[in-house]
């Protein structure tokens, strides 16, 4: 029997509670047993963004809630799952300072490793990373065996973050099932240069965990599509839910258009599928990265 991907949409979103199962349309068709032609002809990667309402200082409850949503995303076919900025402690200065550093750092990394192994999935896990008396606004990437692939530390700090966190010093790429994945965190994405630098280094997907506030949703709606389009990359923007965040977690194609998006500030999941063939076609049609004259543009 030949393999064929279904002709229905390959990106979805759904909101509700963690007891709400993903709709049938969210199931990723995997083909009959042993059937691999489609994956070989067009390598794909299914990703999920978890829009979560973290409670400040409630580390154990936040991790448990995140794990339940991640299990639903994995059931729906996600291979890489990402969470919002600083979700273990909540995006809250006092909560970061009062949560024991060992729990906020070593405890979260252990949780990420165990959940990655359990789900057999890659996880992007933001957390406050304490190194002695210094703390970074960071995001870890773990693989499906629970190994730590690396940690990205937010380079462009916003507002009160400058009083607490040290800025990171470098951008990094990570390999996920043959895809080159770059990480940014929230305010990093408000500048064109970080995404451009990742794209020039070979990024095909940029994941942006965020705590983008209410009242700034219009910037989220403009800047993220611009980053995807200008650099012809897939983009997964993962924002917090609840009373503080503006929501809008989204998966964008390399043309900058939303493929899936949560339209509310409720908790929920966005799913999307990356296609090497689509990425190659779009970069051939709109060769921004090839045509960029970096010396003249001084970037």
Q: What is the pLDDT of residues 106-126, one digit of tens each?
A: 999 999 999 999 999 999 999
Give yes or no for a contact between 250 and 270, defined as CB atoms under 8 angstroms apart: yes
Per-residue pLDDT at 15:
59
Domain assignment of residue 230, yes or no? yes
How large is the average pLDDT for residues 77-87? 98
User: What pLDDT, on a 0 to 100 scale, did the predictor assign at position 233?
Assistant: 98
Residue 35 has pLDDT above 80, yes or no: no
Share of the chain above pLDDT 70, in %: 84
Whether 4 is covered by a domain: the verdict is no
Minimal CA–CA distance to 265: which of 290, 239, 293?
Answer: 239
Q: What is the DSSP string of 214-282?
A: TT-HHHHHHHHHHHHHHHT-EEEEE---TTTB----EEE-TTS-EEEE--SSS-EEEEEEEEHHHHHHH
- pLDDT score for 37: 31
Model pLDDT for residues 216-255, shown as the tens digit of each residue: 889 999 999 999 999 999 999 999 998 888 899 999 999 9
Q: Is residue 136 part of a domain?
A: yes
Model pLDDT, residue 211: 94
- Residue 292: the pLDDT is 84
Output the pLDDT for position 22. Answer: 52
**The predicted structure's pLDDT at residue 72:** 98
Flag whether 291 is in a domain. Answer: no
Q: What is the CATH number of the domain that holds 154?
A: 3.60.110.10
pLDDT of residue 113: 99
Give the total number of structural domains in the chain.
1
In a domain, 293, yes or no: no
- Which residues neighbour 24 within 8 Å (Cβ) at sequence distance 6 or greater? none
- In whole angstroms, give the CA distance from residue 181 to residue 161: 25
Residue 193 lies in a domain: yes
* Assigned domain for 52 exists: yes
Question: Quick one: pLDDT at residue 3?
Answer: 30
Boundaries of domain holding 247: 43-286
């Amino acid at each position: 029997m030949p393999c064929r991907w279904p002709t229905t949409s390959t990106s979805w979103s759904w909101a509700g509670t963690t007891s709400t199962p993903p709709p049938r349309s969210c199931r990723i068709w995997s083909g009959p047993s042993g059937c691999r032609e489609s994956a070989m002809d067009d390598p794909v990667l299914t990703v999920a963004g978890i829009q979560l309402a973290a409670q400040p200082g409630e580390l154990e409850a936040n991790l448990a809630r995140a794990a339940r949503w991640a299990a639903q995303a994995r059931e729906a076919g996600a291979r890489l799952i990402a969470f919002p900025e600083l979700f273990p402690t909540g995006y809250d200065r006092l909560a970061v300072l009062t949560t024991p550093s060992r729990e906020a750092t070593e405890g979260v990394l252990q949780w990420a490793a165990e959940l990655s192994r359990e789900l057999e999935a890659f996880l992007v896990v933001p957390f406050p990373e304490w190194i002695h008396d210094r703390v970074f606004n960071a995001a870890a990437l773990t693989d499906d065996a629970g190994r730590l692939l690396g940690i990205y530390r937010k380079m462009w700090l916003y507002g009160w973050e400058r009083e607490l966190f040290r800025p990171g010093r470098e951008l990094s790429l990570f390999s996920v099932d043959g895809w080159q994945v770059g990480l940014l965190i929230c305010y990093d994405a408000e500048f064109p240069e970080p995404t451009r630098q990742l794209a020039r280094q070979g990024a095909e997907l940029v994941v942006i965990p965020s705590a983008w506030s209410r009242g700034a949703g219009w910037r989220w709606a403009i800047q993220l599509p611009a980053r995807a389009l200008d650099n012809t990359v897939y983009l997964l923007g993962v924002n917090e839910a609840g009373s503080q965040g503006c929501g809008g977690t989204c998966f964008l194609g390399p043309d900058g258009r939303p493929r899936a998006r949560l339209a509310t500030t409720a908790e929920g999941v966005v799913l999307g599928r990356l296609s090497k063939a689509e990425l190659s076609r779009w970069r051939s049609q709109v060769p921004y990265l090839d045509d960029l004259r970096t010396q003249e543009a001084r970037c």
